[in-house]
Structure 1
Amino acid sequence: MVDFRYGPVEFYLVGLEGDRPEPGVVAALVNLLDTGMVRLLDFVILSKDDDGEVTVTEVEDEDDRYGLGETELSASGIVGDEDVAELAELIPPGASAALVAFELVYQRDLASRLAASGAVVLASDRVPAPVVNALMDALDDAEQEGE
């Protein structure tokens, strides 16, 4: 079997109301990390001024400021300059966003076994939670109307 050091990695670009995630968001992140299901690889804050100039803050350098405490970034730097340049275009002037890279630890064994068997993932798509919940609510409403 192929023994992968890392499972699949997902990048999230999350628009912020201010210049940092709210404490409740950070607490939820820390709780998720504590489960061992995901590992935080990298975390940067991108801020775009009104003229479109982007400032990049490595959270690893200021983890106490962001409430992460003893949380270690397992692969700081995996978010590269090209990622920052591409994703920063999605941030409106005068706004900030968090760019987070997670390793999906819970998928590492499956990824190893797929690779060892010669199988390849041909596509992967993630449906955001608000979309799933709105769809399920609409289906529930339609089902109740049909009763």
Structure 2
Amino acid sequence: MVEFAYGPVEVLLLTFDGDRPGPALSGALRDLIEEKTITLLDLIFVSRNLDGDLRTIEVDDLPDKAQLPDLDLRELGLAGLDDVEELAVRLEPGASAAILVVELTWARHFASVLAASGGSVLYQERIPAPVVNAVLEAAR
């Protein structure tokens, strides 16, 4: 059986208050990485000014790495300019966001075994946590 170098990958567009994520969000991301739940492959910050102009900042271009020191970004540049522009369409004027490309490290071995057995993922859908929690709360 061939072990995959990477498991499934997700691209996330995360908005937050202000022009950068706070230390709590940075810490939570670092925890996921240290627990080997995810591997951070690429990270790009984007903002849209009130006139609608888009600004893109790569992590390497940040003087203080936006409070994210010692991140081992495995595949810088994986999210290309086209990807960034496509995602940033969702960003409102005056808002900031981070584009994260993350490997679901926890699923790497499972994906290898699934492929070796001739299987594949036929369908996948992610339901955002606020939706899940709201539905479950309403059902109580």
- TM-score under structure 1 length normalisation: 0.89
- Aligned-partner SS, 2:67: coil
Check if 1:133 corresponds to 2:115. no
Residue of structure 2 equivalent to 1:145: none
Is contact 1:60–1:73 with CA below 8 Å preserved after alignment?
no
Residue of structure 1 equivalent to 2:123: 123
The 1:112/1:63 distance shift into structure 2, 3 A limit, reads farther
Aligned-residue Cα RMSD (Å) equals 1.3
Alpha-carbon distance, 1:62 to partner: 2.5
Aligned-partner residue type, residue 22 of structure 1: G
Residue of structure 2 equivalent to 1:22: 22
Mapped partners of 2:97, 2:56: distance in 1? 10
Aligned-partner residue type, residue 13 of structure 2: L
Mapped partners of 1:62, 1:34: distance in 2? 23
Mapped partners of 1:65, 1:126: distance in 2? 29
Aligned-partner residue type, residue 100 of structure 1: L
Residue of structure 2 equivalent to 1:41: 41
The 1:63/1:2 distance shift into structure 2, 3 A limit, reads farther
Bigger Rg, structure 1 or 2 = 1
Alpha-carbon distance, 1:117 to partner: 1.4
Residue of structure 1 equivalent to 2:100: 100
Aligned-partner residue type, residue 104 of structure 2: L
Q: Which runs of 5+ in 2 are unaligned?
A: none
Alpha-carbon distance, 1:125 to partner: 0.7
Segments of 4+ moved more than 6 angstroms: none
- Aligned-partner SS, 1:36: coil
Aligned-partner residue type, residue 7 of structure 1: G
- TM-score under structure 2 length normalisation: 0.93
Mapped partners of 2:19, 2:31: distance in 1? 22
Is contact 1:60–1:76 with CA below 8 Å preserved after alignment?
no
- Aligned-partner SS, 1:94: coil
Alpha-carbon distance, 1:63 to partner: 7.1
Mapped partners of 2:88, 2:117: distance in 1? 38
Q: Percent identity?
A: 45
Residue of structure 2 equivalent to 1:68: 68
Alpha-carbon distance, 1:31 to partner: 1.1
Alpha-carbon distance, 1:61 to partner: 3.5
